[in-house]
């Protein structure tokens, strides 16, 4: 009982800071607080009643998404804020790196007609993803693949933060596919979210047809410069790959910060530990595509 009370008090103390990026600036302190919090009344799996009025199952030992949801009952609210603008009129959404499904569930709960493709390669995350999307099973297709610029078998790293699992280009049992292949039957994608821990440039190279055919209306992509470098990529390369097709804005806590070109966009991403870019199609297809 005392442990639960301490956890509740910690919730109040931590909630203004969790999910704000402060933990990325002070990782040692953040990791210590996270471990202590998760040691109180530990549970392998628990259900969180989110602020967005749907329940979500989380791993009680997860230092990433699960921890943030336990403390704040929401995940990346600045990203959800921008998603809300697109979802009412969207017909298709692709969630690349769906994790346990918070964003997919958020999208489905906002639009009952939305078709969702949720892509998650990690089997443990995918178990929770499947549970969490059960209320919207008729809207959602779950795909158990990693995403890149090749078709092959790969391995995944493991982490206390289940949202920080990365692709390893080593022989393994996880199937990698390209987004061109996975989305071949989708004539148009109104919105795509991509969060794959540094492997974004490879995934972008694997969706050349989607890009050249202007089949993506908007893309929200999470960028970690340090993680991009682990896969021989840079923020500048990422922006250059996308710039023929999209204009850019950073999703900040208070709103959008728009950029004029490639260099200022890349410099912004490089100057942050982590950022989210909203990429808007320069040549969106007309609504007649659905006729």
pLDDT, tens only, 220-245: 999 999 999 999 999 999 999 999 99
**Can you give the pLDDT at residue 22?**
59
129 and 219 inside one domain: yes
Q: Which of 27, 53, 72 is the last residue of a domain?
A: 72
Do residues 97 and 201 both lie within one domain? yes
In this model, does residue 23 exceed pLDDT 60? no
| 52 plus 101 within the same structural domain | no
Q: Average the pLDDT over 264-277 and give the result.
A: 96
* Interval 244-255: pLDDT, tens: 999 999 999 999
pLDDT at 287: 45
Whole-model pTM? 0.90
Is 128 found in the same domain as 32? Answer: no
HSE toward the beta carbon, residue 271, CA cutoff 13 A: 7
Q: What is the CA radius of gyration of the chain?
A: 19
Where a domain ends, among 72, 90, 116?
Answer: 72
Give the residue numbers spanning the domain of 63. Answer: 2-72
Least confident range of 3-7, 105-109, 219-223, 281-285: 3-7
**Token pair belonging to 97:** 């790196």
d(C-alpha 121, C-alpha 141), whole Å: 14
Query: What is the C-alpha end-to-end distance of the chain, expressed in Å?
Result: 59
Q: What percentage of the chain carries pLDDT values higher than 70?
A: 84
30, 45, 72 — which closes off a domain? Answer: 72
Q: Let me know: does 248 contact 278? Beta carbons within 8 Å.
A: yes
Note whether 167 and 113 are same-domain residues. yes
H/E element, 269: helix 262-270
Residues 92 and 34 in one domain: no
Whether the pLDDT of residue 3 is over 90: the answer is no
Q: How many domains does the chain have?
A: 2
Q: Indicate whether 137 and 188 sit together in one domain.
A: yes
CA distance 279 to 62: 30
3-state secondary structure 189-236: EEEEEECCCCCHHHHHHCCHHHHHCCCEEEEEEEECHHHHHCCCCCHH
Q: What is the pLDDT of residues 62-80, one digit of tens each?
A: 888 998 999 899 999 999 9
**Range list of H helices, 19-118:** 22-25, 27-39, 65-72, 77-86, 102-110
Contact 218, 256 (CB under 8 A): no
Tell me the pLDDT tens digit for each residue of 123-176: 999 999 999 999 999 999 999 999 999 999 999 998 888 888 899 988 899 999
Confidence (pLDDT) at 291:
31
CATH number at residue 212: 3.40.50.150
Same domain for 249 and 133: yes
Q: Which residues pair with 143 in a beta bridge?
A: 119
Q: What does the block give as tokens for 234?
A: 């840079």
Tell whether 96 and 82 lie within a shared domain.
yes
Task: Give the containing element (helix H, strand E) for 221.
Answer: strand 216-223
| 30 and 98 inside one domain | no
pLDDT the model gives residue 283: 81
Same domain, 67 and 107: no
**Does one domain contain both 60 and 132?**
no
């Amino acid at each position: 009982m005392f442990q639960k009370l301490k956890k509740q008090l910690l919730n109040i103390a931590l909630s203004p800071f969790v999910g704000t990026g402060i933990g990325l600036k002070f990782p040692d302190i953040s990791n210590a607080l996270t471990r202590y919090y998760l040691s109180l009344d530990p549970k392998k799996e628990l259900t969180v009643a989110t602020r967005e009025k749907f329940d979500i199952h989380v791993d009680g030992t997860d230092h990433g998404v699960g921890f943030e949801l336990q403390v704040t009952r929401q995940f990346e609210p600045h990203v959800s804020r921008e998603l809300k603008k697109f979802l009412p009129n969207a017909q298709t959404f692709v969630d690349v790196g769906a994790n346990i499904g918070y964003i997919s569930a958020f999208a489905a709960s906002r639009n009952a007609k939305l078709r969702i493709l949720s892509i998650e390669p990690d089997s443990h995350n995918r178990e929770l993803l499947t549970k969490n999307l059960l209320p919207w099973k008729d809207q959602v297709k779950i795909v158990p693949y990693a995403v890149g610029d090749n078709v092959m078998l790969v391995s995944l790293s493991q982490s206390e933060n289940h949202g920080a699992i990365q692709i390893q280009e080593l022989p393994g049992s996880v199937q990698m596919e390209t987004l061109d292949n996975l989305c071949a039957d989708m004539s148009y994608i109104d919105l795509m979210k991509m969060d794959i821990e540094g492997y974004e440039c490879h995934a972008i190279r694997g969706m050349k047809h989607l890009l050249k055919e202007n089949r993506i209306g908007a893309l929200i992509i999470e960028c970690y410069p340090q993680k991009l470098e682990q896969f021989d990529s840079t923020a500048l390369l990422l922006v250059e790959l996308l710039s023929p097709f999209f204009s850019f804005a950073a999703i900040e806590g208070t709103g959008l910060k728009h950029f004029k070109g490639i260099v200022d966009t890349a410099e912004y991403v490089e100057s942050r530990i982590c950022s989210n870019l909203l990429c808007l199609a320069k040549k969106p297809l007309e609504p007649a595509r659905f006729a």
